[in-house]
Amino acid sequence: MTSRVPMKWLRIAGTGVLAAGIAISSTTPALAAPSADPGAPGPKNIIHLIGDGMGFNQVDLGSQFEHGRTAYQTTVKPGGVSTPVPGQAGTQVYQEFPVALAMSTYQFGNTYDPVQNWSSFAAPLKNSTDSAAAATTLATGVKTLNNVIGQDENHDDLKTVAERALELGKATGVVTSVPWTHATPASYLAHNEHRNNYHDIAADMMDSGANVIFGAGNPWYDDNGDKLATPSYSYIGETEWNKLVDGQSAFDLVESKDDFLALADGDTPTHVLGTAQVAGTLQADRTALKSGDVPFSAPQNDNVPSLPQMTDAALNVLSNASDEGFFVMIEGGAIDWASHDNNTAGAVEEQIDFNRTIETVVDWVEENSSWDETLVVITADHECGYLSGPAANPAWTPIQGAQGAAPQVSWNSGGHTNHLVPVYAKGPGSELLAAAATGTDPVRGAYLDNADVGRVSNALWAANDTDGIPLLATVPEAGEVGGKLTLSVADFGAGVALTGGQNVGDRLRFAGTLPEVSVTDSRATATVGTGGWTVSGQSGDLSSGPRTLRAQNLGWTPGLVSAKDGVSAGSPVASLLGGGKGLAAPATLATATSDSRLGTTTVSADLALEVPVDTREGDYAGTLTVSLFPVD
């Protein structure tokens, strides 16, 4: 499966009857972050909110209980034939964000196939990620293996967006409703080959330079918040805990609910590690809570802060810690724990708690910052529990129930699925995420990949990197050692302006030039064998409000920027009006044989958009995806 590289959406304002803008995206087997605009400083603050295990149905589960209304419910028959529940509308503030899409979550070596995923009820149980791989990708933009924390598939450390924030003099932190050494927060601040190495991860996080680390996992308390006779060092080692207690770490330790609440206003320490007085989760694992309960009817742990309260405290500490801004990851981690247990009441409670957390963040942005300087991204690492409506399988059914009553659902797994999850974004850079949504799912619509979130987040701050790094390299003979096959697009964010509007009798003709597409192949000959590579392109429809120009109207004539033996440009593709099929289907841009594949090859194409003379005026915009594939 190829991976998408995000680009900047461009709406072209043209002259004459019609103007069209094509934004270029690319796909390639290699994972490389795009460069940010070198003249742009990027957002002052970036906030990731991750609902662990939160699929579309978990979002609706909370809304069904709280408001008696859902947004994403549908009856789906195998094959992706979908019948939406009528009269649906979102109930949450984030559902009104300008970016509201779906996202794939698969780990390194796997894929998401929208047709296959809706072909049978069992299909989504394949290729699912875990929280470590998914959170690492959200933090870095690089796919990795399950169980791996902050490293790639070869166990080489990756730079996370939190670490990038520290390099820029920004404050950084993580907040979670589960132990702070658990997979999702750990993936932003630590590097380890296995998520279960909690003691090593705790030490790594404490040495990370972070300003805020908040969560559960207190060794002296159980899941009900009751004090233990002897400590249980499950999530932090005794040595690290004693350093915190004795004041021998870089952090001020806070444990009580009152101490967390006191951090929400006024002056604060610059480095705070808050470990609430509870073991696994703030609330979800309390023994009073049963799956069949009406949510919030069971007594709660009253000695621990809520996730919104911890978030309020964290935002104040981070704001005080640096005038340069901050990065923070805030996790509704126990949505996943309740979903693993198929605990409907717990999942409702945790989803609503996460909703209130997001509202806390939105209020902070609007009262203490602005949407011009803070980017907020809300998503999930994966779906958990295979939540659906009652009597699901072999069809997917809608959640049912009345406001204030326990929703009627079915749980179809105790683990994760490969279903798409929601993603919402608002603030500077959110348009890059919108532009990265090049996939189309028959039920969830447009989707991007979790690597796009990590790439965009890191790229937005790449422009601030002005320090030089000394380099030392030993170059082997070409083709002897393993390398990569990569694709890049020149002036990636600028897009293409299709201009002219020449009237040629029965049509209007617009022209433009594809930015130079460079393919670099450094793969080892022993691995590749007699293979080469091919680059193809495919256009989506162009739209102007409710009006559409079909992709069949766009054609191209590929060409090599510099001639190279063994590399050939693809054949011209005529538009529909020109007697062809256009770029609605993939078309070859260039191919290379095994003899010519090594090194860098640059190709381009002349684009031609032909539309009927009576086409309605407007500013039309769309995307053209360029994809690179190895050839055996």
Token couple for 433:
């995420």
Per-residue confidence (pLDDT) for residue 10, from 0 to 100: 23
pLDDT digits (tens, 9 = 90+) for 194-220: 999 999 999 999 999 999 999 999 999
Output 247 or 617, whichever has higher pLDDT.
Answer: 247
26 vs 42: CA distance, rounded Å = 22
Token couple for 368:
């203490």
Calculated CA dihedral for residues 365, 367, 369, 375, nearest 10 degrees: 10
User: Whole-model pTM above 0.85?
Assistant: no
Give the number of other CB atoms < 10 A from CB of residue 382.
29
555 vs 553: CA distance, rounded Å = 7
pLDDT digits (tens, 9 = 90+) for 513-540: 988 898 888 777 766 778 888 999 999 8
512 vs 498: CA distance, rounded Å = 5
167 vs 214: CA distance, rounded Å = 21
Residue with tokens 């055996």: 632
Residue with tokens 């780990």: 107
Contact 281, 287 (CB under 8 A): no
Residue with tokens 């990038």: 164
Per-residue confidence (pLDDT) for residue 502, from 0 to 100: 80
537 vs 591: CA distance, rounded Å = 12
577 vs 563: CA distance, rounded Å = 31
pLDDT at 323 over 80: yes
Residues with Cβ within 8 Å of 159's Cβ and at least 6 positions away in sequence, in order, are 140, 458
Per-residue confidence (pLDDT) for residue 486, from 0 to 100: 75
Contact 436, 448 (CB under 8 A): yes
User: How confident is residue 481, by pLDDT bands cut at 50, 70 and 90?
Assistant: very low
Bridge partners of 100, per DSSP, are 424
Token couple for 329:
């990851």
Q: How far is the CA of 92 from the CAs of 100, 306, 311, 367, 409, in angstroms?
A: 12, 19, 18, 19, 21
Q: What percent of the chain has pLDDT over 90?
A: 72
User: How confident is residue 492, by pLDDT bands cut at 50, 70 and 90?
Assistant: low
pLDDT digits (tens, 9 = 90+) for 70-107: 999 999 999 888 898 887 888 999 999 999 999 999 99
Q: Per-residue pLDDT averaged across 315-320, rounded?
A: 98
pLDDT at 169 over 60: yes
